[in-house]
């Protein structure tokens, strides 16, 4: 199963966490720290990745929670 990704994104009135590929916010938060924690918790439960989007739109942090890929010998 492929993991699901969650983004913590700044809005004018706070922070949201949204699941990648879905149009609506998953949860709303008052601070960056709360949103980043929520994104990580959701990503960990789905074996996905959490992204923190900075106010400039760039990825400020990312955290992988999935299983490591198998070791491939070349």
Q: Higher model confidence: residue 1 or residue 19? A: 19
Of 25 and 51, the structure prediction assigns the larger pLDDT to: 51
Tell whether the model's pLDDT for residue 73 goes beyond 70.
no
The answer to pTM > 0.85 is no
Closest CA to 25 of 47, 41, 14: 14
Nearest one of 18, 24, 58, 11 to 38, comparing CA atoms: 18
pLDDT band at 58 (very low <50, low <70, confident <90, very high): very high
Query: What is the structure's pLDDT at 3?
Result: 77
Q: What is the mean pLDDT of the chain?
A: 88
Q: What is the domain range of residue 15?
A: 5-64
Q: How many domains does the chain have?
A: 1
15: in domain: yes
In a domain, residue 69? The reply is no
Q: Evaluate whether residue 73 is within a structural domain.
A: no
């Amino acid at each position: 199963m492929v993991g699901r990704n969650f983004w913590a994104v700044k809005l004018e009135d706070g922070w949201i966490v949204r699941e990648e590929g879905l149009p609506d916010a998953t949860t709303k938060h008052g601070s960056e720290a709360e949103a980043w924690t929520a994104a990580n918790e959701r990503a960990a439960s789905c074996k996905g990745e959490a992204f923190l989007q900075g106010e400039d739109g760039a990825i400020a942090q990312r955290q992988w929670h999935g299983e490591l890929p198998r070791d491939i010998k070349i």
